[in-house]
Amino acid sequence: MRFLPPETLAKLGRCELSARGVVEGFISGRHKSPFKGFSVEFAEHRQYTPGDDLRNLDWRVLARKDRYFIKQYIDETNMRVTLLLDASGSMAYAGDEAAPRDGRPLSKLAYAQYIAAMLGYLLVNQQDAAGLVTFDTALRTYLPARARASQVRSILETLDQTEPGGETALAKIFHDIAERIPRRGMVVILSDLYDDPAALIQALHHFRYRRHEVLLFHIVAEEELTFPFESYTKFQDLECADNRLPIDPRTIRATYLTRMRAFLDEIEAACGRLKIDYVRMNTRVPYDQALAEYLSLRN
Amino acid sequence: MLFLHPYLLLGLTGIAIPVIIHLFNRRNAREIKWGAMRFLMDSLMSRRRSLLLEEMLLLAARCLIVGCAVLAMARPFVPAGSSFPWWLVLPLGLLGIVFFGMSFALGRYRRWQVLAWLACLLCLGLSAAAILLEKHLSLGRFTGGAARDVALVIDGSSSMTLEVNGESNFNRALKEAARLVEEAPRGVAFSVIVAGAVPDPLVPAPVTDRKYVQAALEQAIPVHGVLRAPDALAAAAASLAQGNQATKQIILIGDGQSVGWQTDDLESWRFLDEAFAHLPAKPRIFVRVLVLPQGIRNLTLKDVAFSRPVVGTDRDVRIDVTLANTGREAVTPARVVLRAGDSEKVDRSVGQMEPDSERVVSFMHRFDTPGAQVVEAQVVAEDELASDDIMRRVIQVMRTLKVLVVDDGRAVRLFDRAGGYVALGLMPSTKELLRDESKRGTAPERARFLMEPELTAVSGLGLKRTLTGYAVAVLADVPSLPAEQAAQLADFVRRGGSLLLIHGARADPAFFNNWQSEGEPVAPLALGACVTVPATNAQAAVRIAPDTFRHPALALFRESGDLADAVIECYRQALESNEVAGVVGRLQNGNAFLAERALGRGRVAQLFVPLDRTAGNLVVRHSFLPLIQELTAYLAQPVVATLNIPPSRGAVVQLSSPALTHLSGNGLYAEYFRKNDPKKILLTRVDPTLDFSWGTHAPAEGLPADHFSVRWSGSFVPRQSGTYTFTVRADDRINLKIGAYKVSTASFDQQQELRGTFTAGERYPLTALLTEDQGEAGVWVDMEGPGFPRARLPGDWLIPVRGAVDSWAEAVDTQVRAPGGRTLYAKIRSGEEGLALRTDSPLMQGLYEVAVPTAAAGWLGHLASTNDTFPICVTENPAESRLDALTPDEQAIILRQADITVARSFDDLRSALRGKTFGRELWRIPAFVLFVLLLLEAFLTRWICIQRKTGEEVGGAEHAPQKS
């Protein structure tokens, strides 16, 4: 239950409260649901309560029985969201600027895990299906999307056991997952995307081809963005222990930043083209705040 | 290249500081686990080359900064005469430091790193080796230890008296020398020499008393003349030889005028090596060159010359004054003045003179009184160097020139005699000529004629005991001479007299061709037959060819005169051989006319045309008289005293030729004086021997008949060894001393004997003192010896000199007043070498007055007739007026001759005195490089900063979420 500590829950509760509109909208359907389903498959009727969206009013029933019923579609109430959590070594980077948790700055992985926990909780609470995939070079765990209440616990347990691992090989995994997800749904990617951008974009393309909605949370650490190192540093690769680079960071700072900028721009541009929601999450900002901001924006 | 503070070079270890910092940084690197490695790797890859370059540059720059700072503080300099060029050594060292720094940036490339280390070691090693070697070489030059002997040589030549920037270089040099003395460390002993025509030692031996040296410097005056650097340095070496220290230095302060350094006369520099050989170690010579004034205005008197070598009071002589412009501007002299005796002549004819031009101004002057006289020429002009505007010369104006003309004496009438015309030519007044010789005394006519011919026959020549007093002897168509007279004449020529042989019909070739003296023929050419050409044959007429004249005596007749018109009716053939080619004039048919040769101190001239009526109409030509006068004057030259001498350290001045000196030849030197007044000598002369019967008369005119004394002195030179007996009698009494034996008589009738043993050829001093009271006077000395029966003491065994030939022991002391008022000491002696004056003091240019000592008054009548002093002139060198500085070639020559170091400034001199090396300081160069490097490093870091700033834009807007 680590990832849903009381205060987070409380915050979530608050979040629920503050985003109650959102969540309630999810549950009660009074507000326009941000997670609009695609399916038009008729599932059942439910009693109309004032405030429901008249779009889904079953006019035929009204004509026949003179009673108000809302058409409910399967997917409207049952979004299938798959959370993809990058557990490669690069995610283990923490940095000093990251928002702290228990006095220590959060690593990107921990940050992503918190986000994943919150999202899973939210989704299950609103009776959507949430699934979880963890991977590094290969798929590590695969929890198919379920709407059951116990799914949250499963997700949290899996998250708990996830440790940062080997190298990153995003593109291959994405291709794989894109094929695995049975029906089209939503894919939430929590990764630092440190892979070949072209291959990555190709994989994102695959998701879109499968008609998935993709939500890309790009987790980066502040230091990775600004590269503030001054003194001579030995950089050790988190993914490959043999890879060491002792350099004076000042000498390559400019080039690094240029390349980082180019990388971010490329991804962003590709997401824009593919109509993928791109959210850059800087671990400096506390995860709940970041998520809340995003959700409110989305609404 | 050397360093003033070499110990500071230890700071060069500081170049390791940037390296240590660099390595320290690396060792203390933070370890950061990083995720975005690919970005790092990519960035690194793209910047790898420039990264390496940046690092190398920075490290090299930082090491170089430390290195330059240390080098600048250690004060590098180039010592004089450096063997290794500093522009190689210094950059090599800096390069080594650069390699050192760069090598630590090449950590990743082992091979290059090792190469860089090797290069660094090589460069640093080479420059260190060069510096150490230089130190080793230099130490040989500049020995430490303060105690040393230093000779200060101040250039006192005339050029130093010129003013440069308001002060004369001489004063400047004195001031610098005084400063040197004052600031010298303890233990330095100084000697001071003022250099010039003759080095003048002010402080002859090195002394450590500063005040004394400084006082001497204050009183120093320029010597004038030419610097004569080798002589000055030799004098300095001589002064140093008297010092006590082992280290010797010579410091010369001058103006670098080319003429003093004698680069065209390297022999005098050889002599310097010998002078240095006497010192324990070769002295180091430091030369400080003051600024030589350029572009001066200067007129110089280059020469004052007389038109005739023999000048009398009979007629004018032309004095040529040569003016030269040795400056760089055109100058117009106001006037040229000639002073001689009481007269002063002014010439204003010289106009503007261009630089390097010369002009000759002639004056005609007639001397009134005989003796040594000063002729002074002066040019009055506005020029900067005044010391060369006056030139003096001393000339001996002859009272008379006695010429002995000998012919065969057959004819009676003057014009019939072979020597008649010759005698007439010499003294063109028949009345005077024919006047009895003894009556010639002080007739006013006498003053008109310089030459005093005495016409005699061969027999008359035999009667002459001595030829002393004649300047020239002329043999006018003499057939031959008896052997004794021939030897006497030859000896006369050897002693400085001259002989003119005139050959006509009567000459006997056998005699003249075999006439020898000490193995040499007396006559220049051998005689051949006599050729007679009758006057009627106009076409075959023989004439003189003036265009063949090549002789100073005949110079007058080359272009002008009527010698060529003379028809020669009789002449003598000359047999020319190739060895004695002394022909200086010919007849038109190629036969010799005049020939000449030197013999001993004198000359023999030979005319092949008789100068009498038998020769034709030569004797009635207008040119005849000048011809005979010129010939005789030329031949008489050796008897004229040389009273103009060059500057020297001590000199022997020939005051009269032995031919004219009384005390050459044989006899005894006699001094006549009153009995009770021995100090006042009434008469001095050479008496042939001690054999006089004066009776009641005085021994000579002007002497009293009674109450007088005579002192004879000289030497007795026996021709045979053995025991001799001298019988002595005198009226009234005599003391005689020969060698160690003496005898005296007490009364006029007493006869005493002196017996002694003598060795042949040795000189035994002889003195005799005769005292006459009253009545008759006389002296009679006989000699009897081995193989010699008793006879009068032979005169030719007596010589009037007591000491050895070259001895100055018998010389008379006298004083000489030098220019500037100093008094020098000199000796005058009369002997077989003639009359000479000797002094050991240095003679610098100027006019000197020699006091005539009473003891020598009789000898110097020809020089000091009226005064009691006579002048001697030490001549100037007009080359000193040329202010040419030493050219680089000449400097190179000088530097090769001796170990000379040029000090560029006074401070260099001072350092040399302290034994410190000196040279051009170089600290500015590393300081400049340091400055540049500091800028470079700042620039590099700034550039990196700029690079960093361009990258900062990326991190800024990262957490604004993007909308799709």
Residue of chain A with shortest Cα separation from B961:
A279
Which neighbouring-strand residues pair with B30? Answer: A233
Instruction: State whether B43 and A90 contact (CB < 8 Å).
Output: no
Name the residue facing A252 among B37, B38, B43 (closest C-beta): B43
Give the model's pLDDT for residue B600: 83
Q: Which of A223, A243, A247, A257 to substitute to test the interface with B, most B CBs within 10 Å?
A: A257
The reported pLDDT for the residue numbered A293 is 83
Flag if B35 and A238 touch (Cβ within 8 Å).
Answer: yes
pLDDT, tens only, A128-158: 788 899 988 888 888 888 878 788 888 888 8
- Burial-class residue B243 by CB neighbours within 10 Å (0-12, 13-18, 19+): buried
User: Which position has the higher pLDDT, B467 or A24?
Assistant: B467
For an interface test with A, which of B949, B959, B963 has the most A Cβ atoms less than 10 Å from its Cβ? B959
pLDDT at res. B430: 67
8 Å CB contact of A285 and B959: yes
pLDDT band at B724 (very low <50, low <70, confident <90, very high): very high
Residue B963 has pLDDT above 70, yes or no: no
| Residue from the list B37, B42, B963 with its beta carbon closest to the beta carbon of A243 | B37
Cβ-contact B398, B310 below 8 angstroms: yes
Sheet holding B2-3, edge to edge: B2-3, B76-79, B919-921
pLDDT in tens, B598-622: 888 888 999 988 888 877 888 888 8
Cross-chain CB nearest to A233 (options B29, B39, B46): B29
Tokens linked to A223: 């230091």
* pLDDT, tens only, B39-72: 888 878 877 777 788 888 888 888 988 888 998 8
Q: Report the residue from B34, B950, B963 with minimal CB separation from A235.
A: B34
Q: What is the pLDDT of residue A266?
A: 93
The residue among B245, B160, B388, B270 whose CA lies nearest residue B879 is B388
Helix (H, G, I), strand (E, B) or coil at A69: strand
Closest Cα of chain B to A257: distance in Å? 5
- Is A187 buried (19+), middle (13-18) or exposed (0-12) by CB count in 10 A? buried
Q: What is the largest CA-CA distance in chain A?
A: 80
Can you say whether the dihedral through the CA atoms of B496, B497, B503, B507 is positive or negative? negative
Instruction: Using an 8 Å CB-CB cutoff, list chain B residues near A194.
Output: 35-36, 38
Contacts of A275 in chain B (CB under 8 A): 964
**Of B522, B524, B456, B525, the residue nearest B483 (C-alpha):** B522
pLDDT in tens, B263-310: 887 888 888 888 888 787 778 888 888 888 777 788 888 889 988 888
Sequence-separated (6 or more) residues with CB below 8 Å from residue B352: B330, B331, B332
How far apart (Å, rounded) are the C-alpha atoms in residues B649 and B490?
Answer: 35
Query: 């023929």: which residue's tokens?
Result: B521
pLDDT tens by residue, B735-765: 999 988 989 998 888 889 989 999 888 888 8
pLDDT mean over A204-219 = 87
Q: Are B308 and B330 in contact (CB under 8 A)?
A: no
- Distance of alpha carbon B128 from alpha carbon B121, whole angstroms: 10
Query: Which residues in chain B are closer than 8 Å to A199, comparing Cβ atoms?
Result: none
**With 60 as the cut, is the pLDDT of residue A77 above it?**
no
Q: Is B947 on the interface with A (CB under 8 A)?
A: yes
- Whether residue A232 and residue B961 make contact (CB cut-off 8 A), yes or no, is no
Q: Looking at residue B353, what DSSP letter applies?
A: B
Two tokens, residue B1: 């290249």
Provide the mean pLDDT of chain B.
Answer: 83
**From B25, B54, B962, residue closest to A280, measured CB to CB:** B962
pLDDT at residue B437 in the model: 54
Tokens of B241: 């030889």
Q: How many CB atoms lie within 10 A of CB B434?
A: 11
d(CA B337, CA B887): 36
Tally C-beta pairs within 8 A across A and B. Answer: 154
The residue whose two tokens read 């005028």 is B257
In this complex, do A92 and B964 lie within 8 Å of one another by their Cβ atoms? no
Comparing CB atoms, the residue among A225, A250, A279 nearest residue B944 is A250
The pLDDT of residue A16 is 33
Q: What distance in Å separates the CA atoms of residue B371 and residue B659, rounded to the nearest whole number?
A: 18
CA atoms within 13 A on the CB side of A136: 16
Q: Which of B82-91, B168-177, B564-573 has the highest mean pLDDT?
A: B168-177
Q: Which chain B residue has its CA at the smallest distance from A272's CA? A: B964
Confidence grade of residue B496 (pLDDT, cut at 50, 70, 90): confident
Residue B192's pLDDT is what? Answer: 93
Residues of B in contact with A107 (CB under 8 A): none
d(CA A86, CA A169): 9
- Pick from B215, B293, B291, B199: nearest CA to B906: B291
Distance from CA of A182 to the nearest CA of B (A): 25
Q: Which residue has the higher pLDDT, B666 or B568?
A: B568
Residues B642-646: contacts with CB under 8 Å, at least 24 apart: B643/B372, B643/B394, B643/B395, B643/B396, B643/B863, B643/B870, B643/B871, B643/B872, B643/B873, B644/B393, B644/B394, B644/B872, B644/B873, B644/B874, B644/B875, B645/B843, B645/B872, B645/B873, B645/B874, B645/B875, B646/B197, B646/B874, B646/B875, B646/B877
- Out of B35, B47, B959, the one facing A224 most closely (by C-beta) is B35
What is the model's pLDDT at position B355? 86
Residues of A in contact with B47 (CB under 8 A): 251-252, 255
Mutate to test the interface with B, among A200, A252, A285, A295 (most CBs of B within 10 A): A252
* C-alpha A199 chain-centroid distance: 20
pLDDT of residue B193: 92
% of chain B with per-residue pLDDT over 70:
91
Query: Which CATH code, of 3.40.50.410, 3.30.70.20, 3.10.400.10, 3.40.1440.10, is assigned to A6-22+79-298?
Result: 3.40.50.410
**How much is the average pLDDT of B461-472?**
78
CB contact under 8 A, B30 and A233: yes
Residue B755 falls in which region: left (phi positive, over 0), alpha (psi -120 to 50) or beta: beta
Q: How far apart are CA B228 and CA B646, in angstroms?
A: 13
What is the rounded distance in angstroms from the CA atom of residue A118 to the CA atom of residue A3?
Answer: 8
Q: What is the pLDDT of residue B954?
A: 44
Helix count (H) and strand count (E) of chain B? 19, 52
Q: Which ranges in A66-181 belong to alpha helices (H)?
A: 74-77, 108-125, 150-161, 170-180
> In this structure, are residues A136 and A167 in contact, taking their beta carbons and an 8 Å threshold?
yes
| B486 vs B607: CA distance, rounded Å | 18
Distance, CA of A274 to CA of A83 (rounded, Å): 19
The angle formed by the CA atoms of residues B657, B636 and B445, to the nearest 5 degrees, is 110
More confident residue, B916 or A159: A159
Indicate the residue type of B188.
V
From chain A, the residues in CB contact with B953 under 8 A are 257, 261
Asked if residues B569 and B619 have their Cβ atoms less than 8 Å apart, the reply is: no
H-helix or E-strand containing B755? Answer: strand B751-758
Look up residue A241 and give its amino acid.
A
Using alpha carbons, list the distances in angstroms from residue B150 to B66, B243, B280.
Answer: 42, 9, 14
Q: Measured at the alpha carbon of residue A283, what is the angle toward residues A277 and A288, in degrees to the nearest 5?
A: 75
pLDDT band at A270 (very low <50, low <70, confident <90, very high): very high
d(CA B420, CA A267): 146
Contact A250 B964 (CB under 8 A): no
Interface with A, mutate which of B33, B44, B948, B950 (most A CBs under 10 A): B33
| Per-residue pLDDT tens over the stretch B411-436 | 888 788 888 888 888 887 766 666 65
- pLDDT tops 80 at residue B875: yes
Stretch B579-590: mean pLDDT = 77
- Which of B712, B716, B709 is CA-nearest to residue B731? B709
The pTM of the full predicted model, rounded to 2 decimals, is: 0.57
Backbone phi, then psi, for B756, in 5-degree steps?
A: -160, 165
B108 contact A CB<8A: no
Distance from CA of A268 to the nearest CA of B (A): 8
- Reported as a single tens digit per residue, the pLDDT across B704-715 is 888 999 999 888
CA dist B151 and B602 (Å) reads 46
- Chain B residue whose CA is closest to A268: B962
Res. B657: pLDDT tops 90: no
pLDDT at B947: 63
Ranges of beta strands (E only) in A156-232 are 186-191, 213-220
* Contact between chains at A232 and B38 (C-beta distance less than 8 A): no
d(CA A111, CA A94): 9
Q: Which residues pair with B123 in a beta bridge?
A: none
pLDDT at site A219: 92
CB contact under 8 A, B32 and A246: no
pLDDT at B119 exceeding the cut of 90: yes
Query: In chain A, whose CA is at the least distance from the CA of B25?
Result: A232
pLDDT at residue A261, as a whole number:
92
- Cβ-defined contact of B36 to A245 (cutoff 8 Å): no
Angle value at C-alpha A65, between A60 and A70, nearest 5 degrees? 55
* Cβ–Cβ gap A259/B955 under 8 Å: no
- Beta strands B644-645; B869-874: pairing state: parallel
Task: Name every chain A residue with its beta carbon within 8 A of the beta carbon of B44.
Answer: 245, 247, 252
Given the DSSP bridges, would you call strands A186-191 and A213-220 parallel, antiparallel or unpaired?
Answer: parallel
Using CB atoms, which residue from B31, B47, B962 is nearest to A278? B962
The domain locations on chain A are: 6-22+79-298, 31-77
Q: Which of B19-33, B363-377, B728-742, B792-806 has the lowest mean pLDDT?
A: B792-806
Q: With a CB-CB cutoff of 8 Å, which residues 921-940 of chain B face chain A?
A: none
pLDDT of residue B191 exceeding 90, the answer is: yes
- Who's near B772: CB < 8 A, 6+ residues apart? B675, B706, B707, B708, B709, B710, B731, B732
Band (A39; pLDDT cuts 50, 70, 90): low
Q: Does B810 score more than 90 pLDDT?
A: no
Identify the band that residue A262 occupies on the pLDDT scale cut at 50, 70 and 90.
Answer: very high
Q: Which residue has the tokens 């997952």?
A: A177
Separation CA B704–CA B706 (nearest Å): 5
d(CA B604, CA B592): 15
Which runs of consecutive H residues, i.e. helices, occur in B427-577? 430-434, 458-463, 483-494, 509-514, 555-559
